[in-house]
Amino acid sequence: MKKILFLFLVAGLLYACKKDKIGSKPILTFKGYTADSVTNTLQQLSVIMNVRDGDGDIEDSLWIAVRYRNSGTSDTLYSIKQMGSIGANKGNNVNADVYINLLPTEFKISHPFIADDSIHFVVFIKDNAGNFSDTVGTRGIPYNAQ
């Protein structure tokens, strides 16, 4: 009985000590925005995402598209942005917050159906090895920029 208990204890200890394996596919999660809403006076909006990658080669590209709730269109036009250099972390597990800085031309449009709407973004990243993260949708943010 003591041997069985000892084996279960050792097995539990080994299981608890195993490392969290992220893998080579980047993992992307939404964290927030730098503004509470989009207004006429807003000149910059940043979308904050958390990026995790097992091999640290996330320096390729980030793709982001804005979606308007009431626009009536299903087209998705992505802006492609260069990911920043991660320097000494290359080759290691990476867990970092990324601020995607957007200019007004990337999140404001003038069109009657957009008044009192909300917007959200869809984002994915590609790493240096060509691995793509899942496409992540952000939560909506009020849009009153008319």
pLDDT, averaged in runs of 10, over the chain (146 residues) = 62 54 84 91 92 84 85 73 71 85 82 68 91 92 78
Q: Name residue 136's beta-bridge partners.
A: 123
Would you call 4 exposed, middle or buried from its count of C-beta atoms within 10 A (0-12, 13-18, 19+)? exposed
Strand partners, 42: none
Q: Give the model's pLDDT for residue 18.
A: 47
Phi, psi of 96 (to 5 degrees): -140, 150
Specify the pLDDT at position 122. Answer: 94
pTM for this entry = 0.75
pLDDT at position 64: 92
Q: Domains of the chain (ranges plus CATH)?
A: 22-144 (2.60.40.2550)
